[in-house]
A and B are shown apart, each in its own frame.
Chain A
Amino acid sequence: MKITFRGGVHPKEQKELSREKELRILNATGEMVFVMAQHIGRPAKPIVKRGDPVLVGQRIAEADGFVSANIISSCSGKVKAIEKRRTISGAMLECIVIDNDGQYTMAEGIGEKQDISGITKEEILAKVKDAGIVGLGGAGFPTSVKLAPKNPAGIKYVIANGADCEPYLTCNDQLMRKEPEAIVEGLEITLKLFENAEGVICIEENKPEAIAAMQKAASGHAKIRVMALKTKYPQGGERSLIQVVAGVDFPTSKLPADVGCIVDNVGTLYAIQRAVVYNEPLFSHVMTVSGDAVKETANLIVRDGTSFREIMEACGGLKEGVTLKKALCGGPMMGLTLSSLDIPIHKTTNGLLLWSEDPVEKAELQMTACLHCGRCTTVCPQGLMPQMMAEAAEKGDMERYETKLYGLECIVCGSCTYICPAKRPLTQTFKRTKAEILAAKRAAQAAKSAAKG
């Protein structure tokens, strides 16, 4: 059986730092900041005013449009301000700031077990939408949109993504060990939406305990099976998983649903189960704190809106005598550097890595000209030729980049940059070039529609 995809790399896992740390709940004490744009699509619209009292689980911002998501308060207290704050992306974005009273008073009806035996598809979708669930794998695509494809009968596989392929991150591993039944139930609920689909739980081989736990929980479910995959990055990428499970390769212009697949992170499935069975909207999620600079690595259940600084302090702060050189939000391969720790976490934040040295700084000093060794081509999971794409991008030959080299198919996984012996900033170049081409396309589109209308 095929257990992996083409290309890929195997960075040092570093999971041993935190993999045995059990999940614990972190109740933040400071003010909570909820970013309005923490999902793909349009930012949510605030529905509370300054001075309003809020409770845990209360909706504080509403989805604005189809591709958007509700934002739920994770604490009780008073709305302190609605203002622009610095966010993970580095930009100043609109946020709701709540003065946390530390009581965590629940809103009414949250956490009560529901009878879901006779639930309809519409009810499931409505609950998922109300709960503000977005893809917790990292991209933050609204799950209610993902679960409502044009042709639900054509979906063959619902893939539960438990690969956790990013180095350092172990929170999904712990979640699968702790709540396997809930994840399986979440998958079952999702399967109710697609009659012809089969549930496949994909886990990398380096998590034997999680595989065993999930297998135990899934036994007795005819439509659900667990698949152990080779430990390789980016195994947890949507397209990599589909290559393995369904055996299809498809361009980025198509969505997974177009080839009969729905991929959801195990964290998302857990959130779906909480929302549908316990009527609990998404206001907390799992997250790993790791790295060589932090005193105690941890796997936490964190509330949305907590600041990174508070999370770091909850893990004992920095080791003595260590200066923090780099803080990353997410994993080391695709994560973003944080400019400050006084930034709130998003629904999709699955890691905080604290390092005493900055590998990018080192890599910059070692950078040489391209050796044309072709290693980037062998590792690219999308089957592209990064070295030639970088050449075209540096020359500014956007046409060649897009039409000859299919540069827009790049998923910015970072494998090429990881493997490059010349330490070329390949992924960074592609990220920029993609953004430039897409911006130019949007501008052309806007000019076209302006000329028409």
Chain B
Amino acid sequence: MIILITTIVITIIGLLVGFGLVFTGKKFYVPVDEKEAAVRAVLPGNNCGACGYAGCDAMAAAIAAGEAPVNGCPVGGTAVAEKVGDIMGISAEGVERKVAFVRCKGTCEVTHNQGNYVGVKDCRSAVLGGVNVTDCDYGCLGFGSCVSVCPQQAIRIVDGVAVVDESKCVACGLCVKTCPRGLIELVPEKSRVRVQCSNKDRGPQVKKVCQAGCIGCSLCVRQCESDAIAVANNLAQVNYEKCIQCGKCVEKCPAKVILPPSIQEKEASA
């Protein structure tokens, strides 16, 4: 008898609570973007924040709203990007992968450092100090402010110059904002023809301070058949959209400043 009463009471309570839940679920329903939920489902879900958003939920919302690129998740890589691309109806391949690129190759060997800077080892402080840390007014200072802000540990200082490990770079752009000399830019990973100098001085002045700098001789401009390289302010600049990567300018450059070294190549040569 007791067992029967207990069963009935429990069943009734269960039904009441069940209806209550169904009712509140319908009544207070918060509409969720289907796409957002789908995107969230394919993201890795470790909430690392490397994408620049506050966790995977925020990233999913940003992708669904079209604010973040479909390949914005650095952890998931191509696999996740493809899945997200399918959901969003955008081809992940269509979104070109970009990487940070340091436009300086003034290593300790090719430039001399007469500055006697002693102080906070941070580029942002060093430029305020009143001391020319390097002879070149445009070059990498080598204290690694970019290294300290990189969430992916993709930047290292090699021989006095910051070098980006492109396999790790997620193109978040934090280093671009941090560099006080504005040396770093985001470039398409595929384009291997890049000018690795930012010095806007005239040739002789550049030669004085650095053996590896762009002297603005315009030889590269004359080589280029696709009108993809131009010299402005005594500095060669590549138009990445027009460049067909024929490499003629790379061959001709007397200063050998147009070339794309990666951290691996540097280490191999060192």
Residues on A lying within 8 angstroms of B by beta carbon are 86, 88-92, 326, 329, 336-340, 358, 360-361, 364, 425, 428-429, 431-432, 435-436
Contacts and interface: CB of A to CB of B under 8 A. Distances in A.
Given A92-B137, A336-B130, A360 B118 contact: yes
A339 B132 CA distance: 6
A192 B166 CA distance: 68
Given A91-B137, A339-B115, A340-B114, A428 B131 contact: no
Interface in B6-34: none
Main secondary structure of the interface of A (DSSP, over half): mixed
B119 A339 contact: no
Nearest to B149: A396
Contacts of B120: 425, 428-429, 432
B234 to A, nearest CB: 13
Given A91-B137, A428-B120, A435 B128 contact: yes
B119 A428 contact: yes
B256 interface: no
Contacts of B119: 360, 364, 425, 428
Contact of A428 (B114, B116, B125, B137): B125
- Of A92, A339, A361, most buried by chain B (CB within 10 Å of CB) is A339
Interface in B123-142: 124-125, 128-132, 137
Given A431-B128, A432-B125, A339 B116 contact: yes
B124 A436 contact: yes
Nearest to B137: A92
Interface size class of B (residues with CB under 8 A): 10 to 19
Contacts of B114: 339-340
B118 A432 contact: no
A92 B122 CA distance: 21
B127 to A, nearest CB: 8
Contacts of B132: 86, 90-91, 339
Contact of A432 (B116, B117, B128, B131): B128
Contacts of A338: 130-131
B125 A337 contact: no
Contacts, number: 58
Q: Which 7 A-B pairs have the closest CB atoms?
A: A336-B130, A339-B131, A90-B132, A360-B118, A425-B120, A339-B132, A428-B120
8 contacts: A90-B115, A326-B118, A337-B131, A339-B115, A339-B132, A425-B119, A428-B125, A432-B125
Interface in B213-268: none
Interface of B: 114-120, 122, 124-125, 128-132, 137
Contacts of A431: 125, 128
Contacts of A435: 128
Nearest to A367: B120
B172 to A, nearest CB: 15
Contact of A326 (B115, B116, B124, B137): B116
A433 B130 CA distance: 16
Nearest to A425: B120
A234 B122 CA distance: 27
A349 B128 CA distance: 18
A337 B124 contact: no
Contacts of B130: 88-90, 329, 336-339
Given A326-B116, A364-B118, A425-B119, A336 B125 contact: no
Contacts of B115: 90, 339
Contacts of B131: 90, 336-339
Contacts of A425: 119-120, 125
A88 B129 CA distance: 10
Given A337-B129, A428-B125, A361 B137 contact: no
A339 B127 CA distance: 12
Given A337-B117, A358-B118, 15 more contacts: A88-B130, A90-B115, A90-B132, A91-B137, A92-B137, A329-B130, A336-B131, A337-B118, A340-B114, A364-B118, A425-B120, A425-B125, A428-B119, A432-B120, A432-B125
A167 to B, nearest CB: 19
A339 B134 CA distance: 10
Nearest to A431: B128
Contacts of A336: 129-131
Nearest to A327: B116
A338 B130 CA distance: 7
Contacts of A90: 115, 129-132
The listed residue with most B CB atoms (<10 A of its CB), out of A92, A425, A428, is A428
Contacts of B116: 326, 337, 339
Contacts of B118: 326, 337, 358, 360-361, 364
Contacts of B125: 425, 428-429, 431-432
A436 B116 CA distance: 24
- Determine which residue in A91, A329, A337, A358 has the highest number of CB atoms from chain B within 10 A of its CB, and name it: A337
A29 to B, nearest CB: 25
Nearest to B116: A339
Contacts of A86: 132
B162 to A, nearest CB: 19
B67 to A, nearest CB: 19
Contacts of A88: 130
A326 B114 CA distance: 13
Nearest to B122: A432
A91 B131 CA distance: 8
A89 B131 CA distance: 7
Nearest to A361: B118
Contacts of A337: 116-118, 129-131
B205 to A, nearest CB: 9
A394 to B, nearest CB: 10
B136 to A, nearest CB: 11
Nearest to A87: B130
